Amino acid sequence: MLRFTCLSLALALVACRPASPASPPPQRPRTAHDAAAPATPARDASTSSDASTSSDGSVPTEPADARRWPFMDHARRWCLADRLGTTEYLLKWAPLFHGHAPPGDPLWLTDRYLPRATGEEPPTFEDQQRLLTWQSFPRVSHVMDCTLPVADTSRADRPLRTATYAIYLPADYLDHPERPRPVLMLVSGGNGNRTRWFLTPSSDRGVVPGTGGLSVRTRMDQWIAAHPDATPPIVIGLDGSSAQFPNGMWMYLARELPEHLFATYLPGHSRDTVALGVGSISSGAVEVARALKLDPAVFHVIGFWSPFVHPDGIALDSTMGTVPQRDRLFRTLGERRRDGLLAMRFSIGDKDDHYARTWEWYRLLARAGVFPEPGEPRFERCQRADWRPGPGHCWRVWEGFFLMPGEFHNYHALLPSFAPQFEWSLESLSEIQHRLDTRAR
């Protein structure tokens, strides 16, 4: 699992931490981060590159109709609009953050938990009213932090558990909620969670520059602005594996969450019309592998950052079934790749202690037809222009496998690898979504 030693120091800086999500402390009227913002902030689209446009390229000049938004009933009961609720990761990150979040990014709350599946901590009237401000124009993107009650199927009484997700909705969605669009789910490793995807890097200096946030909303707005012909995707930030997923996180990824997304955000659509992608960090890859075992056709795009391939994580001879079952799974993935319905990519450091096993996994996938048989790599992103390209200072690249020089299994490995693989995921989803749209006509 990734060890972010820089962040762990923040535990000493947190003076008081709530004892339990089920028993939060009395809520302050506002947090320090929230204090500068009005109660129901008016969005200024000039601060965002993700202004919604109609099919002819013009910017809408009429308010959006919230009655057309299929997610409103769920959001009013279970979500914080333009807010991130309190999480363990956020409490570590907050004392280290001394900068300014980009305009429009969700405000983070250090004393406010998400609604519980039992009905505790429901959204306030202010939270519900904030959703109505989204009707203003020009439209901009938004992030919500949400609860999804999930029934525990292992018990006869099927009690509800509080599963969570954070969701990015592009500006285009507010005017075209009926449109089929790709979905990308991002799965955290052991030291991250759903808030981390949407937080800002805590510092540009220090032991690990940029530690503590992956700025997904900003990256999404920029990508959408640079790809005006692409269908803007929905992006989901997820916690890593934990007890909040009573039936296993792999079931949440493969069944429970997608079914909720189709019913709540993309009604009338299904896996046949929506390209579904997943990206995972470290131990998050274990849950992706288990989801593939459950359903090899569940994802169209799969990206792994520093996957946890280890006897205690992804064991190549058991996690995806017996060896014959695993090989059948890989052959199915190969068929989907040949049909243009699957794209897969690995990024890992050559000093990562999971590199050798990850390379073995890649070779097995290549034999099954997911990738070409690897030959000599090409060299990219060389650090010294005056040196001959080589493995000591250049990335070694095979199709779908990116090996970074000198990187270990830690946060630092994400600094060079996150942005290019994230953009690859979006571009791959866009291509497959276009194929699905064409087949549906």
Tell me the CA end-to-end span of the chain in Å, nearest whole number: 44
**Strand pairing report for 378-380 and 79-81:** unpaired
Q: How far apart are CA 404 and CA 413, in angstroms?
A: 8
> Does the pLDDT value for residue 334 go beyond 80?
yes
If you average pLDDT over residues 12-27, what whole number do you get?
36
Lowest mean pLDDT among 65-69, 130-134, 230-234, 337-341: 65-69
Q: How far apart are CA 124 and CA 80, in angstroms?
A: 9
If you average pLDDT over residues 380-399, what whole number do you get?
95
Q: Which two tokens stand for residue 384?
A: 């010294």
- The per-residue pLDDT for 37 is 39
Instruction: Tell the residue number behind the tokens 């008081």, with chain if given.
Output: 16
Confidence of residue 242 (pLDDT cuts 50, 70, 90): confident
- The per-residue pLDDT for 96 is 82
Q: What is the DSSP letter of 77?
A: H
At 249, phi and psi to the nearest 5?
A: -65, -30
Q: What percent of the chain has pLDDT above 70?
A: 84
> Does the pLDDT value for residue 188 go beyond 80?
yes
> Does the pLDDT value for residue 18 go beyond 70?
no
Distance set, CA 151 to CA 37, 229, 256 (Å): 37, 40, 10
Residues 251-288 have pLDDT tens digits of: 999 999 999 999 999 999 999 999 999 999 999 999 99
On whether the CB atoms of residues 91 and 169 are closer than 8 A, the answer is no
Q: Which two tokens stand for residue 88?
A: 């363990």
Q: Which two tokens stand for residue 335?
A: 């068929």
Q: How far apart are CA 148 and CA 195, in angstroms?
A: 16
On whether the CB atoms of residues 336 and 371 are closer than 8 A, the answer is no
> Does the pLDDT value for residue 99 go beyond 80?
no
On whether the CB atoms of residues 383 and 393 are closer than 8 A, the answer is yes
- The per-residue pLDDT for 363 is 98
Q: Is 137 helix (H, G, I), strand (E, B) or coil?
A: coil
Q: Which two tokens stand for residue 47?
A: 């601060």
- The per-residue pLDDT for 60 is 63
- Indicate left, alpha or beta for 215 from its phi (over 0: left) and psi (-120 to 50: alpha): left
> Does the pLDDT value for residue 292 go beyond 80?
yes
The fourth-level CATH superfamily of domain 59-440 is Alpha/Beta hydrolase fold, catalytic domain (3.40.50.1820)
Residues 164-177 have pLDDT tens digits of: 999 999 999 999 99
Residue 100: how many CB atoms within 10 A of its CB? 10
- The per-residue pLDDT for 48 is 44
Confidence of residue 14 (pLDDT cuts 50, 70, 90): very low
Sign of the Cα pseudo-torsion (360, 363, 365, 367, in order): negative
Lowest mean pLDDT among 10-14, 346-350, 353-357: 10-14
If you average pLDDT over residues 142-146, what whole number do you get?
97
> Does the pLDDT value for residue 430 go beyond 60?
yes
Q: How far apart are CA 117 and CA 383, in angstroms?
A: 50
- The per-residue pLDDT for 236 is 98
Q: How far apart are CA 433 and CA 205, in angstroms?
A: 39
On whether the CB atoms of residues 378 and 397 are closer than 8 A, the answer is yes
- The per-residue pLDDT for 92 is 86
Residue 56, H or E segment: none
> pTM of the prediction?
0.86
Q: Tell me what the pLDDT averaged over the chain comes to.
A: 86
